[in-house]
Structure formats: structure tokens, C-alpha cells
Chain A
Amino acid sequence: MKKIYLDNNATTAIHPDVLKEMLPYFEGFYGNPSSIHTYGQETRKAIEDAREKIAKLLNAESSEIVFTSCGTESNNHAIKGAAFSLQNKGKHIITSKIEHHAVIEVCEYLSKKFGFEITYIPVDKYGIVNPEDVKKAITDKTILISIMHINNETGTIQPIEEIGKIAQERQIVFHTDAVQSVGKIQIDVKKLGVSLLSLSGHKFYAPKGVGILYVRKGLKIHSLLHGGSHEKNRRAGTENVPYIVGIAKALDISHKDMAEESKRILYLREKLEKGILDKIEYSQINGHPENRIYNTSNISFDFIEGEGLLLSLDMEGIAASTGSACTSGTLEPSHVLAAMGVSPTKSQGSIRFSLGRQNTEAEIDKLLEVLPNIVSRLRMMSPLWEDKQKGIETQFEDSKKYH
């Protein structure tokens, strides 16, 4: 059975040219970049070339690029680093209700263990933060604003430039988690008006295990890792040379392919959404209709639960994902959909399809062929569907009554 991978927001397959670029650094070039000898000089050059390439693509300076191990590390570094270095000015942080756990949990940690005050800005029904709400939340104690660029679950794009202007006017450090945007759209750190930006390689065809934190020149934040003077004293630890070479190559390729790929993938996504909405009644798109990244589609199928859908799709060789209850090791429904006002039942029946460079039109056709049958099969098993057909409201006793 041919497998179809529609979970590119979770991770992507490494690009063959990226792997090719990396291989010499596993084989011949293994020197420690901090060493003075030729071995070290070779790998040092590879890292600095990669840094320069990345800086150019993000409209940053080389010195502003810090290599990390992943997006989560970049977010931790940005938020904890800024919070600890600026806490004498105040202990108030503004973020949003739809951030990735790698931001929310960091804020919760700072709140619980270090007494920081966190404001979680709400979103509208499309999942968008209103910059005015950010502005209103600012106090004289606010030291950091952290709002994500593109939401991982819905693909909705946040007004980062506008928030950036507000942050600059008020001279507050502004971080954005751009893990889902870098590699998909052009990023200009100056235009966005950010002081800190996190990104992750494996979202754009580099391997897992490498990320970047952009730190605007002049901004001093605490480090997470202390030790040697690597990364200009910002991140101790011997550099992961092959992966750094890989992430630079991947970013370069994604920028070269972007104009064409964004159009091609958007066409596939539109076909997928139109096909599903036409063929399957009681299905809806979650997220903004237009202001949404071209590869992501979050769809609710009423009266059924997402995990059953995922398992059934998987048996057809199709990989998608759900942020819904019971699948991600937690029973809580998606905090992103909840913040958008999506009911817990609808949220449970939501699936995310995220497309990438390998997807073809034939694959979308295949999905559209099998999905309606899967949805009907699960609805036939659902008491909610049964009641809908009968036109009655579903009633049930709460569990635990018999224990």
C-alpha cells in the first residue's frame, strides 16, 4: 500500500539534498569547531558559512543567529532568558491562549516558580490575536511579549508586524515562535519587528535536533546552557556541525522553491477542503478562511471522535493528526480550538491535515475517496449521530456514578 503523509506540521521528511550536504560532516569533517587545527578550522568554516546563509535569508546579521537543538529549546531560551535578565524592570509577560506548549509551559513555570505574572491574550473565533488587546495588556511592569507567528493546529497567521510596532513603541522585548512559518513563507526579522524569533529545522526538511534562536543585536538575555564560550557565550556545548550545515541547506532550498511550492500546495489544500466540505455533511474548517498558511487544514467532523478517524485513515496508509482529546497523552480537548470557542465535542472530531513538498494531487484524490466512507462508518456507530437523525437532544449520565 502506498503511504500518504499529511502531517507535515508535526515533522517533515529530510530533503535528499539536505542529507547529501550533511553526510561529509559525519564522515571526513569531524573536527571540533573550537579546535585550532585544520580539522577544527574546516568545521568552523562550515558553521560560519551556514550562519551567514541563514542570516541573509532572514534579513538578520550573522551575529544574531544562535544555533540550538530544537524549537522548544529556542522558545525556552528566549522566554526564560529574557525573563531572568529583565526581571529587575518588572515581572509581567504577555502571551496568548493559543501558543504551543513550548511557550505556555515555560510561562507557567516562570509564574509558579518565580512569581512572574502572565497575561494570556484571547483570540477571536478564527484564532487571531487582536493587537489592540496586546496594547491594552501592557503595564509598566511588562518586560516581554511572546506571540506565535503561525498556529500549528489551525495554520492561522497572527498580526506579528502590528504587534511588533506596539512592542517597539513601548520598548518591550518581543518574541515570536515562528516554528510553523519559517521555511513556508519569507521571514524578515526587521519587518516583523521582533527581538527574538524561534525556529526549528525539521519543519522544513532538515533533520530533527536542530533549531535556531534569532537574538537581535544589543539584546542581552540569560543562557540556558552554561559552559564553554560557544555561540558567543549564548549557548554552551560543542556545535552540532552536520545538523547546522543541514538546516542552512534546508532553509536555502525552501526559499528557492517557495514561490512555486506555495502555489502548488495551496492548490492541493483548496482541493482537499472543497472536496471534504462538498462530500461530507456537517464538516467545518477551523481557522481563518484566508489569513491562514497554505499547507494547513483543520477540519471538524461533527458527531464523531478524531482518534477513530486517524486510526481508520492510518489503515488506508494516510497519516494525519489531531490535537483532540485522548490522542496526545492528555484527555483535555485542544486549548487552541477551545480558545476559538469551538465546542469540546466539535473539537474532539477535529483533524489536521498539513501538506508538504512530497504531496501530489493523486494523494489528495485518494484521501477524498476514502474519507467519506470512514466518516459514515464512524457516524453509524455514534449515539450523537443516531440522536441527530431522530431529531432529539443527546442525554447521558455522568460517568463514575457506579463507583
Chain B
Amino acid sequence: MQYSSKVMEHFNNPRNVGEIPDADGIGNVGNPICGDIMRLYIKVKDGIIVDAKFKTFGCGAAIATSSMVTEMVKGKSIEEALNISNKAVAEALGGLPSIKMHCSVLAEEALKSALADYYKKHPK
């Protein structure tokens, strides 16, 4: 199993690690099989995601996909963010080993969970 240089780069220098104390939405998703847990915070202003941060318990791929998904959502509208797929996250990382694709699924789910939390806290 070999990670792409992009995965290793994000694992070594993950972007947006941390918490957002007054987050507008928090996603908290765990994979009960492999045990990874991803927590994603988003800050929304005028329908645009202005900040995103994460904390992840998981392998190198889980940390890299968390880092990448936070980078991808920043500056996007809620609607655009809803369309970010796990494949897009994996592709942005230069691909993932097939056994690690579930990490990108977890990243997508953490994002969707954060968006669902946002809608719950900010009903239209």
C-alpha cells in the first residue's frame, strides 16, 4: 500500500486542524468497523462557508481526507458543499489506495453531518 505524495503532504501538514468554538454546524461521524472518527466544524456567513476545521482519530488517509475536505468547502455555498463527493476528495488527493476509499466516504459524511447540523440550528 502506497500513499500519494499529496496524501502524505496533507498528513504531514494538515490544514485547518482545530475547533471552531461558535461553529454554525458540527459533523461527528465514526466508522464502526475501522473505528475512525471525524469531527468537522463549519462557520457560515450569508450562505457561504467561511471557515472549516477538523479533528480526526484515524489513519493517515483519514487525516489527509479531513484536511482536504476542509480546504474544499471553504468559500463554497451550502448548496455547493452538499455536492462535494467522496470521489472528489480522493481525486483532489491524487487518489487513495482502494482499501482506504472508506476514509474519503467518512470525510463526505462528516461534511454532510455538519451541514445537516447547520440546517437544524438555522431553520429556513
Residues of chain A at interface, number, CB under 8 A: 32
> Quick one: which of A326-357 are within 8 Å of B by CB?
326-327, 329, 331, 333, 344-345, 348
Q: Specify which chain A residues have a CB less than 8 angstroms from the CB of B56 in the assembled complex.
A: 381-383
Nearest B-chain residue to A307, judged by Cβ: B59
Looking at A117-125, A199-207, A394-402, the stretch in contact with chain B turns out to be A394-402
> Which residues on B sit within 8 Å (CB–CB) of A307?
59-60
A302-327, CB < 8 A from B? 303-305, 307-308, 311, 315, 325-327
Query: Which residues of chain B have C-beta atoms less than 8 A from A380's C-beta?
Result: 17
- CA–CA, A328 and B88, complex, Å: 26
Asked whether B33 lies within 8 Å of A331 as measured between CB atoms, the reply is yes
Docked-complex contact B112 and A331, CB < 8 angstroms: no
Known contacts A386-B19, A397-B30; A329 and B108 CB within 8 A of each other: no
- Is the beta-carbon distance between B34 and A326 smaller than 8 angstroms? yes
Which chain A residues lie closer than 8 Å to B59 at the CB level? 305, 307-308, 325-327
Contact of B37 among A396, A400, A402 (CB under 8 A): A396
B92 at the interface (CB under 8 A from A): no
Docked complex Cα distance between A383 and B38 (Å): 7
User: Can you list, as one digit per residue, whether each of A344-381 has a CB less than 8 Å from chain B (1) or not (0)?
Assistant: 11001000000000000000000000000000000011
Chain B interface bracket (under 10, 10 to 19, 20 to 34, 35 or more): 35 or more
Judging by beta carbons under 8 Å apart, are A348 and B28 in contact?
no
Q: Do residues A396 and B28 form an inter-chain contact, with CB atoms below 8 A?
A: yes
The distance from the CB of B79 to the nearest CB of chain A, in whole angstroms, is 16
B110 to chain A, nearest CB (A): 9
B43 interface contact, C-beta 8 A = no
Residue in B17, B33, B34 whose beta carbon sits within 8 Å of that of A381 in the complex: B17
A384 near B: Cβ within 8 Å? yes
CB distance from A380 to the nearest CB of B (A): 7
Whole-angstrom distance between the Cβ of B8 and the nearest chain A Cβ: 7
Residue numbers in A under 8 Å from B11 (CB-CB): 308, 311
Chain B CB within 10 Å — which of A307, A329, A344, A345 has the most?
A: A307
Question: Considering only CB atoms, which chain A residue lies closest to B66 in the complex?
Answer: A381
User: Does B63 count as interface, using CB distance less than 8 angstroms?
Assistant: yes
**B60/A399 in contact, CB under 8 A:** no
Residues in B whose Cβ lies below 8 Å from that of A325: 34-35, 59
Contact A304 B8 (CB under 8 A): no
Q: Which residues of B contact A395 (CB under 8 A)?
A: 28
B45 to chain A, nearest CB (A): 24
Residue in B29, B55, B61 whose CB lies within 8 Å of A399: B29
List the A residue with the shortest CB-CB distance to B105.
A399
B36 part of interface (Cβ distance < 8 Å) = yes
Closest B residue by C-beta to A384 = B57
Given contacts A327-B59, A381-B63, A382-B55, A311 and B8 within 8 Å (CB-CB) = yes
Residues on A close to B: CB < 8 A?
Answer: 303-305, 307-308, 311, 315, 325-327, 329, 331, 333, 344-345, 348, 380-384, 386, 394-403
User: Can you give 14 contacting A-B residue pairs, CB < 8 Å?
Assistant: A305-B57, A307-B60, A308-B59, A325-B35, A327-B1, A380-B17, A381-B55, A382-B56, A384-B37, A394-B37, A397-B113, A398-B31, A399-B32, A399-B105
